[in-house]
Amino acid sequence: MRKPSMAYFFDTVTLSNFALIGQLDLLIQRYGQRLKLTHEVLTELAEGIIAGFGSLRTIEAAIDDGLICRADPFVPPASRKTYSELLRVLGPGEASCIIQAIAHGGVVVSDDRTARRHCAEQGIPVTGTIGILKACWQDGSITADEADEMLSKMIEAGFHSPVQSIVDL
């Protein structure tokens, strides 16, 4: 069972999967102010917008409207070394989410295999696109057909999903 106040530190890819198919509201409804974005993830999102993914602007609008929060920029000195080590194998977005989850007792939200493996090894709670869709289906926020339709649209948009159907999990 998740703690009501537990923060969820989203990486760029997972957040983009929902934004690119027009389903950012599903994340906002589910996580609200617990949905946190690091400076590094915000930078990656800006790069995506510049690259032509205009639908990512909905994320910026949600931040401006106070629906999504920026993560606390403070990183404890002891975490800086870990962050540098993580950058050897991860992008800045994933590494920053891990550091913030450690510092604040939160959940990493990433589809990156290496990031997920690191979280598992370190006992850091982790979820991703598939886990969110499954949880939303299981709690009745969306139907099984809606979950599979969203997943299909994400795959069409470029998401490399390990499954083709949420209900098969």
**Nearest residue to 41 (alpha-carbon basis) of 84, 114, 95, 120:** 95
Lowest mean pLDDT among 2-16, 30-44, 57-71, 122-136: 2-16
Q: For the beta carbon of residue 165, count every other beta carbon within 10 angstroms.
A: 12
pLDDT class of 156 with cuts at 50, 70, 90: very high
Question: What is the Cα–Cα distance from 80 to 103, expressed in whole angstroms?
Answer: 11
Question: Which pLDDT belongs to residue 4?
Answer: 58
Work out whether strand 126-127 and strand 69-70 pair parallel, antiparallel, or are unpaired. Answer: unpaired
In terms of CATH, what superfamily is 8-156? 5'-nuclease (3.40.50.1010)
Give me the pLDDT at residue 1, please.
Answer: 43
pLDDT above 80 for 2: no
State the Cα–Cα distance between residues 156 and 147, nearest whole angstrom: 14
Between CA 70 and CA 58, with CA 148 as vertex, the angle to 5 degrees is: 30
**Ranges of each domain in the chain:** 8-156
Q: Is 133 in contact with 153 (CB distance < 8 Å)?
A: no
| Cβ atoms of 62 and 68 closer than 8 Å | yes
pTM of the model: 0.94
- C-alpha 10/C-alpha 109 separation (Å) is 5
What is the model's pLDDT at position 5? 82
